[in-house]
Structure 1
Amino acid sequence: MIETSLDFSGLNDIAKDLELLSRAENNKVLRDSTRAGAEVLKEEVIARAPERTGKLKKNVVVLTQRSRRRGEITSGVHIRGRNMRTGNSDNTMKASDPRNAFYWRFVEMGSVNMPPHPFVRPAFDVRLEQATEVAIRRMNQAIDEVLSK
């Protein structure tokens, strides 16, 4: 899994606008903007994912998580079929479950008997700049929406 965190510290105007917002409004703005950037990456991962059964493409999702630290929200592209607590395969899911694409890591990184066919990392490398631009644009739009109320 590739975690992407965008650093908005150099953008003084956005930082000043975020200070004007309440905590709930601030969280909504951050959540909307990070999800918008992650959606760009998700679309590229789906486009590059191999389609043997289609199960892998169906299980590419965007997840948003709030950190324990105040004001920190992350969104990322995840592929279902993993136990979030341990990071290992989710043994409670049957292999035939349509939500279990546990094998994505073998496709991405290969194994002893199988060469790697990366699709997540190349998608990240190609769309990082565009995802950043979309996230910043969505953040400005969300701030304007909240301040215009």
Structure 2
Amino acid sequence: MELEHVKGLRELSDALKELPVRIARNALRQSVAAGASIIRNDAKARAPVSTQAPAPGDPLPGTLKRSILIKHVPERSTVSSQTFIVGVRSGKRYRNQGKKGNRSQDAYYWRWVEFGTVKMSARPFLRPAFEANKQAAVDAIAQYLAKRIPEEAAGLRGAKR
């Protein structure tokens, strides 16, 4: 198989099998991270920000946007499959841990915003970001791998000489 022309999933799988395990795993992990970042960035853009002054003890405006992340799940990942989650930080451990001073990243309320409550209608931001960008994420993964696999293969050929 020629590594310079990866067209479909079967060809991609075959190309990854030809690379050493470490290189294949890293290339796939980085490509899936690139796809997940597209969804995360759109979710951040869609996340609502309060325009009201926060009450004492309430999170500052923008906490929800700051709390959206991508997380690699190594226990659900293999050489040929990498798992990432686009989600929201929440929980006490994220309070007062922001990058700019004392800004919390605890968006414990994100579920109420995403799904709504009895007293508040839903203002979804994660699900629409996924639906709008799933094909762009797949394309980004494919583009990254189409570029990276030939580079790694050429590096291996060069190292063998």
**Aligned-residue CA RMSD (Å):** 2.0
1:24-103 equivalences under 5 Å are 24-52=22-50, 53-67=61-75, 70-71=78-79, 72-81=81-90, 90-91=91-92, 94=95, 98-103=104-109
Report the CA distance between 1:139 and its aligned residue: 1.5
Secondary structure of residue in 1 paired with 2:11: helix
Query: Counterpart of 1:114?
Result: 120
**CA distances 1:43-95 after superposition (whole Å, capped 9, x unpaired):** 110111001201111111111122356423212212111xxxxxxxx355559
Query: CA separation in 2, counterparts of 1:93 and 1:19?
Result: 39
Offset at 1:33? 0.9
In structure 2, the residue corresponding to 1:115 is in which secondary structure? coil
Q: What corresponds to 1:137 in structure 2? A: 143
Q: Distance in 2 between matches of 1:80 and 1:112?
A: 24
Q: Counterpart amino acid of 1:77?
A: V
Higher helix proportion (structure 1 or 2): 2
Q: TM-score, normalised by structure 2?
A: 0.74
Runs of 4+ in structure 1 over 6 Å off? none
**Structure 1 unaligned runs (5+)?**
1-9, 82-89
Partner of 2:130: 124
Amino acid at match of 1:80: R
Length, aligned pairs only: 132
**Percent of aligned pairs with the same amino acid:** 30
Secondary structure of 1:76 counterpart: strand
